[in-house]
Every structure is written in structure tokens, then in C-alpha cells.
Amino acid sequence: MAILKLENVSLSLNNKPILDSISVDFWEGYIHAIVGPNGAGKSTLSYVIMGLNDYRTISGTLYFKNKPINELSVYQRARLGISLAWQEPARFEGLTVYQYLQASKKDNGLSIEEAMDVIGLPAQEYLPRACDKTLSGGERKRIELASLLVMQPEVVLLDEPDSGIDVEALERIFDAMAILKQRGSTIITITHSMAVLQKAEHAFLMCHGNIIDKGGIDKISGYFENKCIPCDHKNIPISGEAR
């Protein structure tokens, strides 16, 4: 069953078409990957799903559990159980790591201590620390994942989860993805990484604002091997905010 569905979704920014009549179903309980060249609109698609400002003026319809959500704000979509982890995690000045995770905590999620163990950061050392520039980008990315583990959203959007991290941290991210899936989350990853793609069960290939192919990982991995797949669409990377 599709927990999240897009029907003929299009978006233009600054009078430039970014997404072009995208129709796609994300099956409940699966790990999905969205791959494609820079400028394809991959990250933009995740922003549209999350309902970020400047990404809500769309044509077409988004459905969550068969109910339209076009009119819902970011906050309302988060309340439904949709969450986005950024390629560059946010800083939360004035909050400690513990306060940040406590604010995310839901009854069905892991405990804060369990989540810190999964991401490989010692709770005793990191929970009192501030969520500010004293944390590296990789540490903030892991802590953001910990927030998802204590929250246990129904749909998790991961924008380039492997960006700016080392191999050990990537393995921790894979552990977190596996636990989220095991506990019932649907995961959608935006990625350029073969390693991340291989952790998915189903994938979509985007090009120039369109979904041009979909299927199993063996099928879509051909994009990485050949840099492209045969199709009748010109790849003209979109400048500006789309990625």
C-alpha cells in the first residue's frame, strides 16, 4: 500500500519549471531511493513533500494515507508523521543535545540513550553539549538521526545522508535506517551514492524534473555504472535551487 502518493505534481520557481507532472507511489514500510544527476529536482521533490515555504505552490496533489495534504503546513505534516533530515543539518543555538532530543521524543521511539548508542556518540559526553558550531557537520548529522530514532516518524526523508561524513559514520546511518524500517517507518533517500542506493529496496531515477525510470536496485544501479540510461529525454540540468 502507498503511504505517500504524488499525482501529476509540478512546480516552477522563478518562472522556471522544476518538477514536471510527477506521479509516484511510495510503498509503506519500504526503503526507497531517488537518484539522478545534479539539477534533476531530487531535493526539490523532498521539499515539496515536506511542504517547505516556497515549495508549496504546486499543481497536482500529494496524498498521505489517501488523504490530500497540499494545504497542510510543515508543522501539520510533521504532526502527521513526515520528517525531513537535511543534507546540511540545522544548528539549534541555545539548546543542548539532550534538550533537542527530548523535544523530538515520542512514546513509540527509542529512548535517548538507545538512540545515542545507535549513532555511536557517547551519551554522557554529548548530551550536555550545545547544538551549535562546536559540533562538526558529521556529529550534527548523527544527532539529527538520533532525533529521528526517538521520534519514529511514519515517513523519513533523508537528503544526501552520506554527505560530509566518514565511513564509520555512514555505517551508523545504515544502522539507523535499518532500525527505523524495522520499527515501521517508510524511508525515502535522496542520494548520489551507490552504497546508499544498495540499502534501498526500490528506486526511482529522476532527470530534468521527471521520474524517467523505477524498479529494483539492480535495474536502477545501471545509472551509476553508465552515468545515464537510454531514454528519449534531454538531460538539461536545472540551475538554481533544484538538485
pLDDT for residue 154 is more than 90? yes
Q: What is the pLDDT of residues 110-131, one digit of tens each?
A: 999 999 999 999 999 999 999 8
Length of the chain equals 243
pLDDT at 240: 42
**Is it true that domain 2-226 has CATH number 3.30.70.580?**
no
Return phi, psi of residue 10, to 5°.
Answer: -130, 150
Instruction: Tally Cβ neighbours within 10 Å of residue 224.
Output: 13
Residue partners of 236: CB distance under 8 A and separation at least 6: 39, 208
Question: How do 82-85 and 31-35 pair as beta strands?
Answer: unpaired
Minimum mean pLDDT among 15-19, 62-66, 239-243: which range?
239-243
Q: What is the pLDDT of residues 174-228, one digit of tens each?
A: 999 999 999 999 999 999 888 999 999 999 999 889 998 999 998 888 877 776 6
Q: What is the 3-state secondary structure (H, E, C) of 102-149?
A: HHHCCCCCCCHHHHHHHHCCCHHHHCCCEECCCCCHHHHHHHHHHHHH
Model pTM score: 0.89
Q: What is the pLDDT confidence band of residue 239, given thresholds at 50, 70 and 90? A: very low
Burial 103-113 (b: 16+ CB within 10 A, else e): ebbeeebbebe
